[in-house]
Amino acid sequence: MWISNQWKDYEILDTSNGEKLERWGNYLLVRPDPQVIWKTPKKNPGWKKHNGHYYRSSNGGGEWEFFHLPEQWTIGYGSLTFHLKPFAFKHTGLFPEQAVNWDWFAKKIKKSRRPIKILNLFAYTGGATLAAAAAGASVTHVDASKGMVSWAKENAASSGLGKAPVRWLVDDCVKFVEREIRRGNTYDGIIMDPPSYGRGPKGELWKIEDSIYSFIKLCAKLLSKDPLFFLINSYTTGLQPAVLSYLLHSIIVKKAGGTVFAEEIGIPVKDSGLILPCGSSGRWSFEA
């Protein structure tokens, strides 16, 4: 398992009965987590002194209850600064477990000692974009949500990357990739964090089980003659590490050679010392 254990402003304090107790900077949140199927005693005092609690509804969705929580606050990871705010579907605007991937490709970008172009698809609020830009890459950031792209720009400005070579694009990822192929553009690294289900700006349907194989094949056409890496993240139950590995082997390795590694990603739980799994990632490159 790849573990995100370098955070100072974020930690999972405890887990029990379908929920996790997290510290986001100076604030404590309780959020549901489907992986937490155990019912251990809730001894951490934060369970009763939290600033926000997201309650899952039996009919789907849910709602927040707040206790002295600001509408927005920030946390840092190294030189990066992220704006947080709780919004629908329990999210805060950041997936801390992805830091282990940011560190991995940032090292590759720095080690390359050459200009690197990165394409970040389904780029959300820009965690991977900022990590790549801070490492010295030029980045094309693509997401179908105008609000998420604006949020990512705010994170970049707060991280001192407001003038970094980043293209911020509100677009359907599949259609953007198709246009880039026609234009003859290429990238040295591709990052994607596809949703399980979604729609583009004009109602384009995306269902990951039906779309991901053909989409990776499209993206493979955008790899440069000297590619650095290809990273795919999944929070979809059916797309386990072995599936991501097979996808990358059958498409990217077949095209360019190289090596594939795929693992669960996770975050340590302070009170138990165990690791909470938080999705899967598949990495392709010419070296580990």
* Cβ neighbours around 276 below 10 Å, total: 17
Task: Report the SS3 class of residue 189.
Answer: strand
Binning pLDDT at 50, 70 and 90, where does residue 147 land?
very high
C-beta separation of 82 from 75 below 8 A? yes
CATH topology of domain 96-285: Rossmann fold (3.40.50)
pLDDT greater than 90 at residue 239: no
Q: Report which residue type is found at 182.
A: R
User: Which percentage of the chain shows pLDDT scores above 90?
Assistant: 88
Give 8's contacts (C-beta < 8 A, 6+ positions apart): 76, 77
- Cα separation, 169 vs 109, in Å, equals 22
Give the count of beta carbons closer than 10 Å to the beta carbon of residue 70. 11
Give me the residues paired with residue 263 across strands: 281
CB 207 within 8 A of CB 176: no
Query: What is the per-residue pLDDT across 118-130, written as a single tens digit (0 to 9) for each?
Result: 999 999 999 999 9
Give start-end residues of each CATH 2.60.40.1180 domain in the chain.
2-84
* Residue 162 three-state SS: coil
Does residue 51 contact residue 66 with C-beta atoms inside 8 Å? Answer: yes
Identify the band that residue 202 occupies on the pLDDT scale cut at 50, 70 and 90: low
* Average of per-residue pLDDT values in the chain: 94
Tokens, residue 117: 């172009």
Amino acid at 2: W
pLDDT tens-digit profile of 82-110?
Answer: 999 998 889 999 999 999 999 999 999 99
Collapsing DSSP to helix, strand or coil, 155 comes out as helix
Q: What is the pTM of this model?
A: 0.94
Please, which pLDDT band fits residue 58 given cuts at 50, 70 and 90?
confident
**Helix runs in 97-187, H state only:** 99-112, 127-134, 146-158, 173-183
Correct CATH for 2-84 of 2.60.40.1180, 3.40.47.10, 3.40.190.10, 3.30.930.10: 2.60.40.1180
User: Where does the chain hold its CATH 3.40.50.150 domain(s)?
Assistant: 96-285
HSE-CB for 252 with a 13 A CA cutoff: 33
